[in-house]
Structures are given as C-alpha cells and as structure tokens.
C-alpha cells in the first residue's frame, strides 16, 4: 500500500463524498468520469502507475533506513544522493506531462516533507502541535496520499488595513471547542481541488489577524468544505484538436469553509502570528518546493524548445538569422536553469538535524527568471508558427470528403498535412488556447509575486564577498 497504482488513486478519489461545483452544478457520481476532471485524473493516475514499472522503480521508489518503502517525492534528503534522486524523480514524472502539471503529487508531497523537516520551529510554541505534522507525514507515506493546498486570500481587499475589515471573506477561526477549531470564510487558489485525498490549508506570510494564523490538513470531503471550480479548459475533448488541455488541465477552485470543524489532531498551529510567519519563511518550504519547481520547469523548457524546433523544421525556416536567435534565446534559458538547479545541489548544506537543504539563492534566481522566460518562450513559438497557428481545422475536417485535398494544402516540409496539423495543434494548445494562456499566467505567479520574490533575493543575499572585493580595489 506504500506505493499505490493509478487505479487505487482513482478508486479513492471516486470514493470520496467531496462537494465540488462546476458550471452551476454539483459534481455527482464518479469525478474521474466528469469531462472537466477525467483527463487530469487519468494523467495523474498514469504517474502513480510509473511507480510500479521496473525501469523507474530505482528512482520513483525509496526505501529508508527503517525499511519503509514509499514514493521518492516524500523523501526528506539527508545526502547529495537523496537530493539528486528527488530531482530525477520529479523529472521522470514531469517528462510524462511535459512539465504542464504544476500540482502533480510530487509538489504537495514535497511541501509535506518540508513541513515535517521543519517541525522544530513549532516545538514549545503556543497553540502548536508539531506531532500532528509528523503523524500526517507518516500516514501519507504509508498510504501514498494525494494533496492539494490553499493559502491565498481572496482578492477583494489587498490593502494593508484589511485586518480591520469586519466583513473580510478570508478563511478564519471563528470558534474553538472540544471537537476542534471552527473555520469559516474562503481561500484560493486550490489547484486540483476535489481531485485529492486531502487539502492542506495554511496562512500566507505577513498575517496580522490572529484568527487567520493557522495551518491544518483535512480530508477533501470534510463537512462544510466546498470547491467552487473555474470553467473547464479541456477544449472539445478530441485528443487531436486539444492534445494538451485534453490531458493536463488541472482544475483550479475557490475553497469555501462553511463553519468547518477541524479536529485538534489535524491542526498544526493556530492563533499565533509569529509562528504563522516564521513557519512560512524560516521553514524548508521555500528551498524544498523550489527545488521541485525548478526540476519541473527545466523539463517544461525543454519541451517548449522541442516544439519550437519542430515548427522550424516543419516549415523549413532554420536558415533565417532571427529564427536562430529565437532558438538561442530558449536554449540559454534552458541551460541556465539546469546550471542553477545543479548549483543548488552543489551548495546544499545539512542542518543540525542532518537534513540536507538545497541552496536558496540559485533556486530563487531560477524561479524568478522562469517567470520572465516562460511567457517569452510561448511568444517565440507563436512568432515562429505565425499564420500556421491560426488556421487549424478540426480533425473532423480531415475525415470529411474534403479531407484529402485539405491535407495536401496543409502539408509541411517533409511532413504530411495531418502530421503538420497535429504539431501546430500542439503548439497552439500550449500557447494560445485557454489552457495555454492559463499555463502562462500560472508560471508568471507560480511561487508568488515576481517583485516580492526579487526583493527577497536582495534581502537575504550575502553581499560581503562582492563588497570586500570592490573595497580592496578602493583601498589600493
């Protein structure tokens, strides 16, 4: 049971009684059969199935010193080999999805591993229960649980004085009793909301109102919990016409808490502003998750570069200098991301408990660079594909009485009309569809606001070596 199959994952999700709403209706019956969810759930099931394949078992499955066998994404690294194995694991899964599933199970499993490695920050603090994190981690490792999470507050009032608003919609603790703490309000943005065993909820940094300073995990079908989904981006459901959105459209949702009772054994901390801020900033959440994120983004960059090169070959434009420059721009982004990821592992340091923590600075640089690089990569693909990205008939057209003639006119350089259309459908779905534009926006803000992240780099960067070097010249 420590490493589950795709069928077990789907059976568990279908067996929940989660309250998921989309298009004005509650999802009834099997969620894995619902058109808006079935593609992503099937893709996620395939990731779990990879764990059972012999050729991937050395990377995707780990056995610890206690003899426990579990998915590598739960591994808390103690050695350089552990860190490398985590990166390899993430990239095996990312290659199966083109890096397009930002919330594949390894992301939240990494979050839980980071929290577990950081429980010392809760020890001895008021209203804190570090043992609950450890118990959740052990349960997740044993049963290969899946998680989503939410920590962002609704956008209705982002002013610094929002804590004075009596009508705040932010999820908050409204009562505490023998059964647990009662949470009411809303949070966003839960990607894969309703598609996972549990949801982890915690506060963003900078929280002022103590009633909003909490962290916990509860089953996705907890009473009073509702996932209100955005509209689906799966396209027309045809794999040829929508090759990416059909498989990888992870649903996003607003999470509404209607006086949800969170049992005390599910609470990590509550009513403690200092801990809420420290646990987000001082814990290993940032370095662990960024290592996972950059590992995936390297694969996504490689995929985008491959799509761009196939377009260049399909219409035979490689001899043009501006085309070569565009490809070079993508290559530089890919190789810089790879180098920064490697550097984070080379500079990793062990803490006093033996946890090996990847270096933050290379990862912050990689993540913030990708926020700028990914929109540019999609723009390059659009510029290379040009008019070919617009005139894309449905597969039904190719199967109609005009199909043979249409294929003849749509052919590429040494490429049949059908194969060229398949390639340009892939490129269009990556860049121009609702799914594609959501991917671009998602990567712009994946780990937070770009300005805030860049400020953090200058805030914790060690300038001593550089300033000493420059001062030595001044003094000479």
Q: How does pLDDT run across 409-434, given as a tens digit for each residue?
A: 999 999 999 999 999 999 999 999 99
SS3 474: helix
Please give the domain boundaries of the chain with CATH numbers for all domains.
6-280 (2.40.110.10), 284-475 (1.20.140.10)
Q: How many CA atoms lie within 13 A of 174 on its CB side?
A: 16
* Distance separating alpha carbons of residues 436 and 304, to the nearest angstrom: 12
> In this structure, what are the phi and psi dihedrals at residue 291, rounded to the nearest 5 degrees?
-60, -40
Residue 156's pLDDT is 72
C-alpha to C-alpha distance for 157 and 405, rounded to whole angstroms: 57
Condensed to tens digits (0 to 9), the pLDDT of residues 53-79 reads: 999 999 999 998 888 999 999 999 999
pLDDT of 258 reads 98
Locus of tokens 């985590």: 86
Q: Return the bridge partners of 228, or none.
A: 21, 254
In 10 A of CB 4, how many CB atoms? 20
The answer to whether 124 and 66 have CB atoms below 8 angstroms apart is: no
Residue 175 forms beta bridges with which residues? 182
Helix 403-410 to helix 417-431 angle (10° resolution) is 70
Query: What's the pLDDT at 65?
Result: 86
CA atoms within 13 A on the CB side of 8: 14
- What the block records as the tokens of 83 is 């860190």
Strands (E), 271-343: none
435: number of Cβ within 10 Å: 23
* Residues of the chain with confidence (pLDDT) below 50: none
Distance CA 463, CA 4 (A): 47
d(CA 96, CA 60): 13
With the C-alpha atoms ordered 213, 184, 220, 250, is the resulting torsion angle positive or negative?
negative
Crossing angle of helices 6-15 and 38-50, in 10° steps, is 140
For residue 118 the two structure tokens come to 């950081």
pTM score: 0.94
Neighbours of 85 (CB within 10 A): 18
Neighbours of 86 (CB within 10 A): 28
Termini Cα distance of the chain: 67
CA-wise closest residue to 358 among 84, 112, 37, 154: 84
pLDDT of residue 161: 55
Helix axes 417-431, 285-314, angle to 10 degrees: 150
> Which residues sit opposite 200 in a β-bridge?
149, 217
The single-letter DSSP state of residue 154 is P
Tokens coding 96: 């199966």
The residue among 131, 127, 446, 116 whose CA lies nearest residue 285 is 116
């Amino acid at each position: 049971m420590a490493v589950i199959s795709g069928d077990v994952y789907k059976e568990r999700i279908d067996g929940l009684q989660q309250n998921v709403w989309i298009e004005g209706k509650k999802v009834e019956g099997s969620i894995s059969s619902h058109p808006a969810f079935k593609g992503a759930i099937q893709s996620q099931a395939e990731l779990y199935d990879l764990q059972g394949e012999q050729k991937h078992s050395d990377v995707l499955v780990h056995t610890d010193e206690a003899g426990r066998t579990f998915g590598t994404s739960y591994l808390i690294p103690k050695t350089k080999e552990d860190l490398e194995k985590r990166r390899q694991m993430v990239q095996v899964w990312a290659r199966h999805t083109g890096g397009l599933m930002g919330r594949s199970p390894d992301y939240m499993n990494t979050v839980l591993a980071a929290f577990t490695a950081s429980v010392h920050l809760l020890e001895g603090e008021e209203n804190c229960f570090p043992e609950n994190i450890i118990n959740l981690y052990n349960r997740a490792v044993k049963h290969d649980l899946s998680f989503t999470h939410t920590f962002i507050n609704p956008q209705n009032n982002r002013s610094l004085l929002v804590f004075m608003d009596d009508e705040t919609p932010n999820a908050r603790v409204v009562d505490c009793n023998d059964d647990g703490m009662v949470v009411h309000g809303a949070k966003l943005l839960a990607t894969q909301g309703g598609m996972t065993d549990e949801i982890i909820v915690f506060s963003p940094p900078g929280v002022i109102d103590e009633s909003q300073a909490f962290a916990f995990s509860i089953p996705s079908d907890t009473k009073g919990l509702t996932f209100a989904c955005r509209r689906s981006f799966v396209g027309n459901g045809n794999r040829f016409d929508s090759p990416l959105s059909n498989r990888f459209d992870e649903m996003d949702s607003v999470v509404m808490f209607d006086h949800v009772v969170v049992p005390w054994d599910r609470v990590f901390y509550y009513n403690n502003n200092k801990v809420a801020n420290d646990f987000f900033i001082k814990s290993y959440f940032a370095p662990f998750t960024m290592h996972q994120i950059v590992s995936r983004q390297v694969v996504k960059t490689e995929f985008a570069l491959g799509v761009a090169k196939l377009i260049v070959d399909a219409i035979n434009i490689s001899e043009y200098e501006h085309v070569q420059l565009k490809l070079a721009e993508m290559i530089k982004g890919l190789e810089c991301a790879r180098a920064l990821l490697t550097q984070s592992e080379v500079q990793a340091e062990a803490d006093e408990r033996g946890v090996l923590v990847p270096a933050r600075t290379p990862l912050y640089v990689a993540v913030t660079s990708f926020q700028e690089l990914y929109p540019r990569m999609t723009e390059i693909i659009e510029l290379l594909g040009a008019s070919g990205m617009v005139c894309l008939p449905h597969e039904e057209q190719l199967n109609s009485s005009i199909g043979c003639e249409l294929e003849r006119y749509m052919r590429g350089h040494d490429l049949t009309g059908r194969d060229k259309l398949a390639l340009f459908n892939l490129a269009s779905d990556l860049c121009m569809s609702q799914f594609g534009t959501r991917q671009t926006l998602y990567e712009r803000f994946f780990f937070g606001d770009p300005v805030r992240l860049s400020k953090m780099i200058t805030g914790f960067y060690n300038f001593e070596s550089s300033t000493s070097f420059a001062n030595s010249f001044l003094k000479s």
